[in-house]
Structure 1
Amino acid sequence: MHDVLVIGGGAAGFYAAIHIAESRPQTKIAILERGKEVLTKVKVSGGGRCNVTHAEFNPVDLSKNYPRGQKELLGPFHTYASGDTVGFFEERGVALKIEEDGRMFPVTNSSQTIIDCFLSEADRLGVQVKTLCSVTGIEQIKEEEGVIWKVAIGDGHMYCKKLILATGSNPKMWNYVQALGHSIVQPVPSLFTFIIKDERISDIPGVATHAEVKVIPKKNISKKKVKLKPDTAVLTSEGPLLITHWGMSGPAILKLSAWGARILEQYNYQFKIQVNWAPEYHHDGLLELFLKVKQVEKKTVLRTKVLDLPKRLWVNLVKASNIDDTLTWPEVSKQQLSNLAAQLTAGIFQVNGKSTFKEEFVTAGGVDLKEINFKTYESKILTNLYFAGEIINVDAITGGFNFQNAWTGGYIAAQGVVNDLNTNIE
């Protein structure tokens, strides 16, 4: 009989196990991982550097980066947030650095540093780590001394007093949890890039610039389970936009994919976006600027980049406005300049599908947040069952926020388990 079984050898599972073992050294704990290796998502995160957290230390502002979970995480972030995460790693000799955009990485620029930290801590604290340990069933048993958990693994079983589920986006585990009486919010992809085939961007992969992007709403789409408000135009994002071989990516697109995860799934990932490549301007203001330039500039429009835009993008948008390569500013018509202003401030692009963002696949969906006590991360439905990480219906935009959800949930679940074990002893 174990005191605690943690199902899932990822970020949240290790964080929970380590904190329990540190707070209560006599506790018998095992981490059960179905794969050959643990912490695989940590390994690939941030291009192999591991984006540990984000340098947002205000709990209210931190919570605003979670399309699902913003309200629920506010209390937990007052208990344990980014600053606490930084402290945890620094106490164990892992220094973190802040990059310009606020993302935090180990100074070593290697995710292996984080993995090694977890493995050495688990070993030091006597936490058992069992790989190739696929769970095939979960059952709650009521005995005279209280409720315990029976976990089926292959042909055998393991028993524990407290069970922590930290299995991420694992449909099989969601099915087990649902069979136990929990509600599961149907999962859909989040954090994905847009597949766009368009002459204006097809020959310039690698070009990046600051832009504002809006999803153009579709009508008569809300017949499915998730009802959408009529005014869903609503999906707007601003930030760096990266043109890729398959379409568009970068923070501006990824934020849209996270906040619009359910809406875009209803659109079957076929929709239009409007891009403003010069967010400081609207159409009329930009046209006014062009008309002033027309009065003084003698060169061709193609060679005179009026805005702070990548040159190749400017050239493509000039061509898309039906302005000939040889046309000079004095020769260009007001209508042509109006076309250019429209291309720059309100270009319409057709999205036909999505693509996973690197290896950092994130899911919107999971255990219904109404069924979790966020002071302890314990189930409100089943005694001695705790959740941590992406198994619950919480997800974030890119930038280290999804890991911070794992650290916060793992820590608070650990405290809940420790307090309960200590109470039962007394």
Structure 2
Amino acid sequence: MKQIIIIGGGAAGFFCASNLDETQYKITILEQNSDVLQKVKVSGGGRCNITHACFDPRELIQFYPRGNKELLSVFTKFQPGDTMDWFDQRKVSLKIEDDNRIFPESNSSQTIINTFLNEIQQKHIEVKTKCSVKEIEKSGEKYGVRTSLGDFEADFVIYTTGSSPKSLKIIENLGHTIVDLVPSLFTFNIKDELLKDLAGTSFENAEISIPSLKTEESGPLLITHWGLSGPAVLKISAWEAISLAKLKYNVEIEVNFISKAIQDAEESFQNFKLTNPKKTIGQSKIFDITNRFWQKILEVSKVDLNKQMANISGKEMQNILENLCKKKLRVNGKSTFKDEFVTAGGVDLKEINFKNMSSKILPNFYVAGEVLNIDAVTGGFNFQACWSEAWLIAQDLNNL
């Protein structure tokens, strides 16, 4: 019986193993940590955002800053609808939330982990944890895998290690080209009077632009202890991951907290002023923002909270609107969520055959998951790439 060694017990490795024909192969998963599926466990705040309700491959690839062209053919063979179907067949109920993210009904990533562990157990696939791969050597038709738990021999290697520098070095030593790693999906560190003491304040829809990079994104925004986060920030950080790394994360951004053009905001302001002349500006609810944030806007705009609307000058109004709709903030550094860390960079995509995720350089060697130079914005897309790539590998090997 031919031996398959899967290196990396994460999303791609386990999904691939779950779809392999165990009557055809002896399959072993090697995982360097003491626990498997660690990213699955912490994803979506522990609820596991397994995929996204986007069922047209052409639309789906728009969420991938790197790898979009290559993934088109992959998603035509296995896309989020297929992922839902796969879990449905294993009696896992899923739900689509309002923002189209898909979670298990149980709201627990453990449901997904248990599904995988169950599949692996039924197929009698061996999982070796605390097994750190030191080197892979090609010897004749086979691969020798040297690990902290001894040596393994493989007819086929499936490389799904994630993007640790050590695992990239191993595959580079085998002849693959590595595109330098830079963080993707990170939050902005900003020290500014406007954000001070407002951690936890959120905006349903804000717009963020980086004028020097001619780029903008919109979506929910969150003020944190260290600056700004939320989908709007994470999206722009993914698309501009490489440019921002070159700028050493020091850049000016412009934020529109209310997603209204300044002219429209001015019109709302004037209308409110006309109809509520005697109301104090501090107690006026003109825009859809929290009271605390509104009072902070007035403070940094140097407007007296107790001033009546009728007495607000044109200059004061302009200051308020500039701070609301065109606030310039200096980003000085980034923060990443260690557990949900995503990187741009990895194995060069030109060296992979996307029909079956096999290496063009190494025979009987497959690569999937975050070890590739593929990454997506937040929302279940990174996992979907893992499921789809892993499924292709399993189909290819099952049909040999």
Shorter-chain TM band: over 0.9
Q: How does 1:209-248 map to 2 (within 5 A)?
A: 209=203, 210-217=205-212, 232-234=213-215, 236-248=216-228
d(CA) in 2 for partners of 1:113, 1:331: 59
Q: Which residue of 2 aligns with 1:163?
A: 157
d(CA) in 2 for partners of 1:288, 1:83: 45
Q: 1:365-414: CA deviations, max 9, x gaps?
A: 10011111000000111111101110100111111111111101110111
Q: Which residue of 2 aligns with 1:83?
A: 81
User: Does structure 2 conserve the Cα–Cα contact (< 8 Å) formed by 1:2 and 1:159?
Assistant: no
CA positional deviation for 1:156: 3.2
CA positional deviation for 1:293: 3.3
- Helix, strand or coil: the match of 1:390? helix
d(CA) in 2 for partners of 1:408, 1:160: 23
Q: 1:74-97: CA deviations, max 9, x gaps?
A: 110010010111111111111111
Q: Which residue of 2 aligns with 1:154?
A: 148
Of 170, 175, 178, the match for 1:176: 170
Of 117, 121, 125, the match for 1:123: 121
User: Does structure 1 conserve the Cα–Cα contact (< 8 Å) formed by 2:24 and 2:398?
Assistant: no
d(CA) in 2 for partners of 1:136, 1:256: 36
CA positional deviation for 1:193: 1.1
User: Does structure 2 conserve the Cα–Cα contact (< 8 Å) formed by 1:378 and 1:416?
Assistant: no
d(CA) in 1 for partners of 2:228, 2:62: 24
d(CA) in 1 for partners of 2:228, 2:2: 49
1:296 maps onto 2:275 in alignment: yes
Aligned AA (1:14):
F
Q: Which residue of 2 aligns with 1:227?
A: none
1:286 maps onto 2:265 in alignment: yes
CA positional deviation for 1:352: 1.7
Q: How does 1:1-150 map to 2 (within 5 A)?
A: 2-21=2-21, 25-142=23-140, 147-150=141-144
1:353 maps onto 2:333 in alignment: yes
Of 271, 289, 307, the match for 2:251: 271
Q: Which residue of 2 aligns with 1:221?
A: none
- Helix, strand or coil: the match of 1:252? helix
CA positional deviation for 1:98: 1.1
User: Does structure 2 conserve the Cα–Cα contact (< 8 Å) formed by 1:291 and 1:334?
Assistant: no
d(CA) in 2 for partners of 1:114, 1:290: 49
Percent of pairs with identical residues:
47
CA positional deviation for 1:150: 1.1
User: Does structure 1 conserve the Cα–Cα contact (< 8 Å) formed by 2:2 and 2:24?
Assistant: no
User: Does structure 2 conserve the Cα–Cα contact (< 8 Å) formed by 1:162 and 1:417?
Assistant: no
User: Does structure 1 conserve the Cα–Cα contact (< 8 Å) formed by 2:356 and 2:392?
Assistant: yes
Of 372, 379, 383, the match for 2:352: 372
Q: Which residue of 1 aligns with 2:384?
A: 404
1:386 maps onto 2:386 in alignment: no
Q: Which residue of 1 aligns with 2:179?
A: 185
Mean alpha-carbon deviation: is it higher for 76-85 or for 39-48? 39-48
CA RMSD after TM alignment:
1.5
d(CA) in 2 for partners of 1:240, 1:155: 46
Mean alpha-carbon deviation: is it higher for 1-10 or for 72-81? 1-10
Gaps of 5+ in 1: 218-231
Q: Which residue of 2 aligns with 1:229?
A: none
d(CA) in 1 for partners of 2:83, 2:389: 12
d(CA) in 1 for partners of 2:149, 2:376: 38
User: Does structure 2 conserve the Cα–Cα contact (< 8 Å) formed by 1:215 and 1:274?
Assistant: yes
Aligned AA (2:8):
G
Aligned AA (1:38):
V
- Helix, strand or coil: the match of 1:291? helix
CA positional deviation for 1:2: 4.8
Count of residue pairs brought into register by the alignment: 398
User: Does structure 1 conserve the Cα–Cα contact (< 8 Å) formed by 2:132 and 2:149?
Assistant: no
d(CA) in 2 for partners of 1:293, 1:93: 54
* Stretches of 4+ aligned residues off by more than 6 angstroms: none
Q: Which residue of 2 aligns with 1:338?
A: 318
Aligned AA (1:333):
S
d(CA) in 2 for partners of 1:171, 1:196: 28
- The structure-2 alpha-carbon separation of the partners of 1:323 and 1:17, relative to structure 1 and needing over 3 Å to count, comes to same
d(CA) in 1 for partners of 2:195, 2:150: 56
Q: Which residue of 1 aligns with 2:394?
A: 414
- The structure-2 alpha-carbon separation of the partners of 1:372 and 1:245, relative to structure 1 and needing over 3 Å to count, comes to same
Gaps of 5+ in 2: none
User: Does structure 2 conserve the Cα–Cα contact (< 8 Å) formed by 1:376 and 1:412?
Assistant: yes
CA positional deviation for 1:28: 0.8
- Helix, strand or coil: the match of 2:369? coil
- Helix, strand or coil: the match of 1:330? helix
d(CA) in 2 for partners of 1:342, 1:156: 64
